[in-house]
Structure 1
Amino acid sequence: MVRDDEFMAKLFFLSDIFGHLNTLNLELQGRDKTIIDLVEKLNAFQSKLSLFSSDLHLQKLLHFPQLRNFTASSSVKVTNVMSDFLIKLKDNFADRFQDFHVPKEVMMFARNPLQAITLIS
C-alpha cells in the first residue's frame, strides 16, 4: 500500500508541475506578443521554479494543490525525486533559454522609453 501511495504522490506532483508548464505554454502563445513579453514570461517562470523548490522543501505545497490534497490523506511525504526533478527542470530552462537573456535596461526601454531614460540617467 505504501508503494502505491508513493507512486500516486509522484503522479500528483507531476500533474501539478505539468499544470504550471501548461499555463506557461498558453501564456507564450497568441498574437501581438513581443519578444520582451516572452522573455519576461520565461524569466518569471524560472523565478517560480525557485519558489516551487522552496515550497516543496518546506513541505507547504502551496503551489502543488493535487499533491497537497493527497498527502493530507496519506502518510506519504515529499521525496528527493520530486526535489531533484525541480532542480533539473530549472537547470534545463536555464540552459535552454540562456540565449534569451535581455538586459533589464533594454527591457525597460522597450516597455516605456521615457521612463527608462529618466531612471537610467
Structure 2
Amino acid sequence: MLKNEKWLTDLAFLTDITMHLNTINLELQDKGKTIIELISVVNAFKSKLQLMKDQLKGKDLKHFPSLKTRIPQMNYDTYEAELSNILGQFEMRFYDCSKLANIA
C-alpha cells in the first residue's frame, strides 16, 4: 500500500480532514458552553467545510497541508465530493440545531 500513489493521496486527505474533525470535536466537548455557543461552533464548522470545498475547487490547498505534498497525484473532484458528503452529514446530524438557531 505504501507504494500506491492513490492510496497515499487518499491517506493525506484523510489525515487533513481528521485534523479538522478532531478540532470541532474538542470544541464541542468544552465544558460550560451554552447551547447557543455549541450551535455557533457547528455552524462555523459547516461554513468552514463549504469554504474548504470552494478552495479545493480552485485548487487552493491552504487547509490541507498533507494533501499539498501530493499535488501531482491529486484528483480534486474526488475530494470535493468527499467534502460535500461530510457537509451533508453535518446538515443531517445537526438538523435540529439549525431549527434552534432560527429561534435564538
Q: Same fold (TM over 0.5)?
A: yes
Gaps of 5+ in 2: none
Residue 64 of structure 1 corresponds to 64
1:25-55 CA distances to partner (integer Å, 9 max, x unpaired)?
A: 0011121110011000000000001011011
Residue 52 of structure 2 corresponds to 52
Aligned pairs for 1:1-121 (under 5 A) are 4-71=4-71, 75-101=72-98, 102-103=101-102, 106=104
The amino acid across from 1:88 in the alignment is N
Structure with max Cα Rg: 1
> Identity of counterpart residues, as a percentage?
37
Deviation at 1:98, TM superposition (A): 0.9
Deviation at 1:78, TM superposition (A): 3.0
Using the alignment, how far apart are the partners of 1:49 and 1:30 within structure 2?
Answer: 21
Q: Is contact 1:28-1:38 (8 Å) kept?
A: yes
Q: Normalized against structure 2, the TM-score is what?
A: 0.88
The amino acid across from 2:97 in the alignment is F
> Which structure is higher in RCO with an 8 Å CA cutoff and minimum separation 6?
2
Aligned alpha-carbon RMSD (Å): 1.5
Number of aligned residue pairs: 100
Q: Runs in 1 of length 4+ with deviation above 3 angstroms? A: none
Gaps of 5+ in 1: 107-121
